[in-house]
Amino acid sequence: MSEFLLAAAGFVLLTVAVGLVRILRGPANVDRMMAAQLFGTGGVAAVLLLGAATGAAAAIDVALTLALLAAFASFAFVKAAPGGDGAPATDRDR
Amino acid sequence: MNDILAWTSIVAVTAGVFFFVAGTVGLLRFPDAVTRLHALTKADNLGLGLVALGLMAQARSATVMLELLVVWGLVLVSGATAAQLIARGQRRGDTQP
Amino acid sequence: MTDALNEVLNLGIAVLILVLGVWAVVARDAFAAAVGFIAFGLSLTLAWLQLRGIDVALTEAAIGGGLTGALTIFAVARLRATEAAASAERPSVPTRIIAVLVAGAVTFTLILCVLALPNPAPSLASAVMAHIESTGVGNPITAVLLAYRAMDTLLEATVLVFALIGVWSLAPDDVWGGHPGIRQHADPNGILAYAARILPPIGIVVGTYVFWVGADHPGGKFQGATIIAAMWLLVVMAGLVDTPPVSRRWVRIVAAAGPLVFIAIGLAGVPTAGAFLAYPHGYAKPLIVIIELALMPTLALVLALLVAGAPTRIAKR
C-alpha cells in the first residue's frame, strides 16, 4: 500500500509540476493567479499521500495549514494583480 | 474487511490521480484563461476529493477521517471563491496582453 | 521497491526546487517571479516532509508559502509603478561578468563545504531526548525552542517586533500612526465577503489546535499564530474589517506583551533557578505554557501587521 501511495504522490507531483510550467509561462497575469489554486489542490493531495505513505500522522496538519494558507494566498494574488481590485497596500488614500 | 478497504483506497486514489492528470491536460490544452480555470478548479478539486476518500478508507481513527473531510471542504470553499474572483477579474477586462 | 520509489520522488522534488529557484531569479516579470517563489516554498514543504521534519514543513507551508508569499505579492503590487523602468535597465557587460564570477565562486565554495560535511552529521538529538522529561513537553522541537534554546526564541520574537517598528517608520510624515493599507470596499454579498465569513472561524480553530498540539506533536505557537494572522488578513482584504491605526494603544500593548512576558519569566529565573531563562524544577511545563500563551497574540498581530505594511491613511480621531 505505501508503494502505491508513494507512486500516486509522485504522479500528482508530476501533474503539479507540468501545470506549473504552463502557469508560469502563461502570458497573462491571470494565468499566474491560478498558481495558488494549483497548490491548494495538487499540493494538498501530494502532502496527504506522502504523509499516508510514510505513516506521518501529523502530515494532515500540514495539509490543513497548506489548504488555509493557499486560500489566503489565492485571494492575495487576485487582489494584488493588475486588473484585480488592487492590493491593500498600494496607493495613498486619504 | 481489510481487503475491501485496501481495494477501495486503491480505486479511489487511482481515480483521483486520473482526475488530476485530466485537470493538467485541460490546463495545457484549453484555449482560454477561463476554460483553463474550469479545468483546474473542477477536475483538481474532484481529484482531491477522491484522494481524500481513498485515504479515509485507510484512516485509523474517526478523527483522522474527519480531518481529511475538513481539508477537502476547506479546499472546495477556497477553490470555488478564488475561481469566481479570477473569472470576474477576467471578465472586467485584464488589460495585460 | 519502496526505497527506489522514495529516491525517485526525492530526485523529482529536488529538481522541482532547483527549477523553481532558478525561475524566481530569472523571470523578467516581477509578478511571475513572486508566484515562482511561492511555488518554491511549496516544493520546500514537500522536501521537509520527505526528510521527516514535520514541524519545519508546517512552518514552511504557513510562513514560506502563505505569509511571505502574500508579502512578496503586495510588494510587487506597490512596485508596479517603477517596474517598467527597472526592467529596462541593462547592466554593462563587465558588471555581468563580475556577477557571474562572484556567484559562481560562492556556489562552488558552498558545494565544497556541503561535500566536506561529516557523515553522519554530529547531532545533539540523543542529549535532547535524554533530558526531555525535565522540560515537561513531548515534542523535542518544542523542548529545544522553549527550554534548551529559549534565548533564541526570545530574540526571534523581539526581532519581529523591531521589524514591525521598522515597517511603521516607513510611513510618510502626514499619515504617521495611521491605518495601514487602502480601505477595502467590500460588497457585503460578494464572493470574497462570503469566503471571509466562512473560512476564518475554521481557520481560528485550526490555528488554536496547531498551537495547542505543539507541546507533544508537530506544531506550536509560530505556525498557529501564522494561521490566525492569515485569517485576520483575509477578513481585512474582504473589507469587512479595517486595519487598526498603528498609534492605538492596544496594538502597541499586544505587540510588546509577548516578549515582555518572556523577558520577565527569564529574569524571574535568575533568583529561583540560578540563570536567565532557567526554569525552576517542576515548573517548566506551566512556564512554557505561559510563555506560549503570551507570545501567540503578539506573533499573530505582528505577523499580520507586517504584511499589512506601513500606514497610508490618517487615523480619524
List, for residues B63-73, the tens digit of each pLDDT value: 889 999 999 99
Q: What is the pLDDT of residue B20?
A: 93
Q: Is C299 part of any domain?
A: yes
Q: What are the pLDDT digits (tens) for C134-185? A: 777 888 888 888 888 888 889 989 999 999 999 888 888 888 878 887 767 7
Tell me which of B53-62, C267-276, C299-308 is least confident.
Answer: C267-276
Q: Is C74 found in the same domain as C26?
A: yes
Average pLDDT estimate for A78-82 = 75
Chain C residues in contact with A56 by the CB 8 A cut-off are 49, 52, 54
On the question of pLDDT at C98 being above 90, the answer is yes
Q: What are the sequence ranges of the domains in chain A?
A: 2-80
| Cis peptide leading into residue C120 (ω within 30°) | yes
On the question of pLDDT at C229 being above 90, the answer is yes
- CA B19, CA B11: separation in Å to the nearest integer? 12
Q: Does the CB of C230 have a partner CB in chain A at under 8 Å?
A: yes
Structural contact between residues C220 and C141, judged by C-beta atoms closer than 8 angstroms: yes
Q: Is C298 found in the same domain as C172?
A: yes
Q: Is C185 found in the same domain as C75?
A: no
Domain span at C223: 127-317
Confidence of residue A92 (pLDDT cuts 50, 70, 90): very low
Average pLDDT estimate for C118-134 = 81
Confidence of residue A82 (pLDDT cuts 50, 70, 90): low
Q: Which residues contact C55 (CB under 8 A, 6 or more apart)?
A: C139, C141, C218, C219, C220, C223
On the question of pLDDT at C230 being above 90, the answer is yes
| Percentage of chain C exceeding pLDDT 70 | 98
Q: Is C97 part of any domain?
A: no
Cβ <8 Å between A19 and B24? yes
Q: Does the CB of A66 have a partner CB in chain C at under 8 Å?
A: yes
Q: Does the CB of C205 have a partner CB in chain B at under 8 Å?
A: no
On the question of pLDDT at C47 being above 90, the answer is yes
List C311's β-bridge partners, or say none. Answer: C180
- Cβ within 8 Å of B, C 173-192: 191-192
Q: What is the pLDDT of residue A87?
A: 46
- CA A43, CA C66: separation in Å to the nearest integer? 13
Q: The cell 469566503 sits on which residue?
A: C195
- CA C220, CA C54: separation in Å to the nearest integer? 11
Q: Is C238 part of any domain?
A: yes
Q: Is C244 found in the same domain as C155?
A: yes
- Cβ within 8 Å of A, C 58-97: 58, 61-62, 65-67, 69-70, 73-74, 76-78, 80
Q: Is C99 part of any domain?
A: no
B61: three-class secondary structure by DSSP: coil
Q: Which residue has the higher pLDDT, C114 or A92?
A: C114
Q: Mutate which of B67, B76, B81, B88 to test chain C, going by most C C-beta atoms within 10 A?
A: B81
On the question of pLDDT at A88 being above 60, the answer is no
Q: Mutate which of B14, B17, B68 to test chain A, going by most A C-beta atoms within 10 A?
A: B17
Q: Is C287 part of any domain?
A: yes
Q: What is the pLDDT of residue A93?
A: 34
Q: Is C308 found in the same domain as C223?
A: yes
On the question of pLDDT at C115 being above 70, the answer is yes
Q: The cell 494572522 sits on which residue?
A: C229
Q: Is C71 part of any domain?
A: yes
Q: What is the pLDDT of residue A91?
A: 41
Q: Which residues contact C99 (CB under 8 A, 6 or more apart)?
A: C91
Q: Is C165 part of any domain?
A: yes
Number of domains in chain B: 1
Q: Is C137 found in the same domain as C51?
A: no
Q: What is the pLDDT of residue A94?
A: 28
Q: What b/e sequence results for C146-179 when a residue is b if at least 16 CB atoms lie within 10 Å of its CB, and e otherwise? A: bbbebeebbeebbebbeebeebbeebeeebeebb
Q: The cell 498609534 sits on which residue?
A: C247
Structural contact between residues C43 and A51, judged by C-beta atoms closer than 8 angstroms: no
On the question of pLDDT at B95 being above 60, the answer is no
On the question of pLDDT at B30 being above 50, the answer is yes
Q: What is the pLDDT of residue A27?
A: 78
Q: Which residue has the higher pLDDT, C255 or C65?
A: C255
Radius of gyration of chain C (CA): 23
Nearest residue on chain A to C230, alpha-carbon basis: A72
Q: What is the pLDDT of residue B93?
A: 60
A60–chain C nearest CA distance, Å? 10
Across B1-97, the runs of DSSP E, i.e. the strands, are: none
- The complex's ipTM? 0.86
Q: Does the CB of C84 have a partner CB in chain B at under 8 Å?
A: no
Number of domains in chain C: 2
- CA C157, CA C299: separation in Å to the nearest integer? 7
Q: Mutate which of B19, B58, B75 to test chain A, going by most A C-beta atoms within 10 A?
A: B75
Q: Does the CB of C193 have a partner CB in chain B at under 8 Å?
A: no
- CA C81, CA A70: separation in Å to the nearest integer? 27
Q: Is C154 found in the same domain as C262?
A: yes
- CA C313, CA C182: separation in Å to the nearest integer? 7
pTM, full prediction: 0.88
Cβ <8 Å between C195 and B78? yes
Confidence of residue C90 (pLDDT cuts 50, 70, 90): confident
Domain span at B76: 2-93
Q: In the structure grid, which three cell numbers stand for residue C158, read together?
A: 523581539
On the question of pLDDT at A83 being above 60, the answer is no
| Percentage of chain C exceeding pLDDT 90 | 28
Structural contact between residues C24 and C40, judged by C-beta atoms closer than 8 angstroms: yes
- Nearest alpha carbon to residue C177 among C244, C246, C242, C252: C246
Q: Is C209 found in the same domain as C163?
A: yes
Q: In the structure grid, which three cell numbers stand for residue C292, read together?
A: 506560549
Cβ <8 Å between A41 and B90? no
Q: In the structure grid, which three cell numbers stand for residue C7, read together?
A: 529516491
Q: Is C132 found in the same domain as C13?
A: no
Tell me which of C48-52, C93-97, C282-286 is least confident.
Answer: C282-286
Chain A residues in contact with B79 by the CB 8 A cut-off are 37, 40-41
Q: What is the pLDDT of residue B22?
A: 92
Q: What are the pLDDT digits (tens) for A15-67? A: 999 988 888 777 777 788 888 888 888 999 999 999 998 888 888 999 999 99
Q: Does the CB of B31 have a partner CB in chain A at under 8 Å?
A: no
Q: Is C264 found in the same domain as C161?
A: yes
